[in-house]
Amino acid sequence: MRRILIVMALALAVAAPFLLAGQSYYSGLLAYAAVLAIFGLSINLTVGYLGLISFGHAAFFGLGAYVAGLAIVNFGVNYWVTLLFAPIPAALLGALVGFASVRLGGAYFAIATLTTAEILRLVVSNWIDLTRGPLGLIVRRPRVETLESLGLVFHQYYLLATLLGLGLAVLIVHRLLESPTGRSWKVIRESNALAESIGIPTMRQRVMAIALSGGLAGFAGVLFIPRTLVLTPDLFNPMLSATGLLIAILGGKGTLIGPLLGGAIFAALPETLRFVDEYRIAIFALILLAVIRIQPAGLAPLFHLTRPFRTPGAPAKGGEIAFEPSPRLVVTDLTKRFGGLTAVDNVSMTIEPGELVGIIGPNGAGKTTCLSLISGFTPPTAGEIRYGERKVTGDSPSSLVNEGLARTFQQAALCGSQTVFENVLAATSCPEPASLLSSVLRGPGWRAREARRVRRAWECLAFVGLTERAALEAGSLPYGEQKMLAIAVSLATQPRLLMLDEPAAGLNHTEANRLADLLRSLRQRGLTIVLVDHNLRMMMALCDRIIVLDRGRLIAQGTPAEIQADKAVIAAYLGGYTAEEAQNA
Amino acid sequence: MLELLLQQAVNGLTQGMAYALVALGLTMIFGVLHIINFSHGELYMLGGLMAVVATTMLGLPYGLALVLAVVAVVAIAALVDLVAVRPVLPTKDGPSTVLLSTFAVSLLLHQSVLSTWGPNPSRVEGLAGSLSLGPIVITNHRLLVLVSGVVILLAIEYVLRRTLVGRRIRAVAQSEFAAQVVGIDVARIRTLTFLGAAAIAAIAGALIAPVSLFTPSMGQHAIITAFVVVVIGGMGNATGAVVCGLLLGLLEALASAFMPQDMGTAVIYALLLIFLLIRPQGLFAGRAR
What DSSP string describes B138-164?
EEHHHHHHHHHHHHHHHHHHHHHHHSH
Q: Backbone dihedral region of A408: left (phi > 0), alpha (psi from -120 to 50 degrees) or beta?
A: beta
Name the maximum alpha-carbon separation found in chain A: 102
> How far, in Å, CA of A259 to CA of A37, rounded?
5
When CB atoms are compared, the residue of B95, B103, B112 closest to A282 is B112
pLDDT under 70: residue ranges of chain B: 285-289
pLDDT at A305: 64
Query: What CA–CA distance (Å, rounded) separates B272 from B282?
Result: 10
pLDDT tens digits, one per residue of B89-115: 888 777 888 888 899 999 899 988 988
What does the mean pLDDT of chain A come to? 86
**Do both A232 and A337 map to the same domain?**
no
pLDDT band at A44 (very low <50, low <70, confident <90, very high): very high
Give the contacts of B97 (CB within 8 A, at least 6 positions apart). A292, A296, B88, B91
Task: Please answer yes or no on whether A114 and B228 come within 8 Å at the CB atom.
Answer: no
Window A:225-284, CB contacts with B under 8 Å? 238, 242, 245, 249, 278-279, 281-282, 284
Segment A350-365 mean pLDDT: 88
Count Cβ atoms below 10 Å from residue A504 Cβ, excluding itself.
Answer: 24
Residue A373 located in a structural domain: yes
Pick the last residue of a domain from A444, A477, A493. A493
A209, A236, A263: which is the final residue of a domain?
A: A236
pLDDT, one tens digit per residue, over A302-318 is: 777 667 778 887 776 66
Amino acid residing at B87:
P
Point out the residue among A119, A288, A339 whose CB comes nearest to the CB of B104: A288
Helix (H) or strand (E) holding A332: strand A329-338
* B180 in A contact zone (CB under 8 Å): no
> In terms of domains, do A75 and A198 share one?
yes
Q: Percentage of chain A surpassing pLDDT 70? A: 95
Using the Cβ of B271 and the Cβ atoms of chain A, whether some distance falls under 8 Å is answered with no
User: Do A161 and A77 belong to one domain?
Assistant: yes
Question: CB-based contact (8 Å) between A220 and chain B?
Answer: no
The four Cα atoms A80, A84, A86, A89 give a dihedral, to 10 degrees, of 180
A170, A10 in Cβ contact below 8 A? Answer: no
- Helix H or strand E encompassing A230: strand A230-231
Contact call for B101 and A100, based on CB within 8 A: no
CA angle A528/A529/A533 to nearest 5° reads 170
DSSP annotation of A350 reads: E
Domain-terminating residue out of A236, A264, A291: A236
Query: Does residue A254 lie in a domain region?
Result: no
Subunit contact A279:B84, Cβ cutoff 8 A? no
What is d(CA B123, CA B212) in angstroms, rounded to the nearest whole number? 8
**Does B115 sit within 8 Å of A242, measured CB to CB?**
no
Does the distance separating the beta carbons of A104 and B276 come in below 8 Å? yes
- Do A524 and A424 fall within a single domain? no
The mean pLDDT value for A184-191 works out to: 88
- Give CA–CA dist B181/B132, Å, rounded: 56
Same domain, residue pair A45 and A120: yes
Mean pLDDT for the stretch of residues A206-225:
94
Please count the structural domains in chain A: 3
- Residues A372 and A436 occupy one common structural domain: no
Q: How far apart are CA B170 and CA A445, in angstroms?
A: 59
Q: Give the right CATH number for B2-117+126-278 from 1.10.3470, 1.10.490, 3.30.450, 2.40.10.
A: 1.10.3470
Q: What is chain A's length?
A: 585
Same domain, A106 and A92: yes
| CA A428 – CA A450 distance, rounded (Å) | 9
Where do the domains of chain B lie? 2-117+126-278
φ, ψ dihedrals at A337, nearest 5° = -115, 130
Q: What is the CATH number of the domain that holds A537?
A: 3.40.50.300
Please give the residue range of the domain that contains residue A430: 414-493
Q: What is the tens place of the pLDDT at every residue in B72-88? A: 999 999 999 998 888 88
Tell me, yes or no, whether A169 and A222 share the same domain: yes
The segment with the largest mean pLDDT, out of A176-190, A210-224, A471-485, A553-567, is A210-224
| ipTM score assigned to the predicted complex | 0.87
Same domain, A341 and A443: no
Q: How far is CA B118 from the centre of its chain?
A: 23
Residue whose C-alpha is closest to residue A453's, from A405, A506, A403, A492 = A492
- Cβ of A284 within 8 Å of Cβ of B112? The answer is no
Domain match, A500 and A364 both = yes
Interface of B with A in 105-124 (CB under 8 A): 105, 107-108, 111-112, 115
* Domain presence at residue A137: yes
Q: Name the A residues in 282-301 with CB < 8 Å from any B CB.
A: 282, 284-286, 288-289, 292-293, 296
Q: Which residues does chain A have within 8 Å of residue B228's beta carbon, measured at their own beta carbons? A: 115
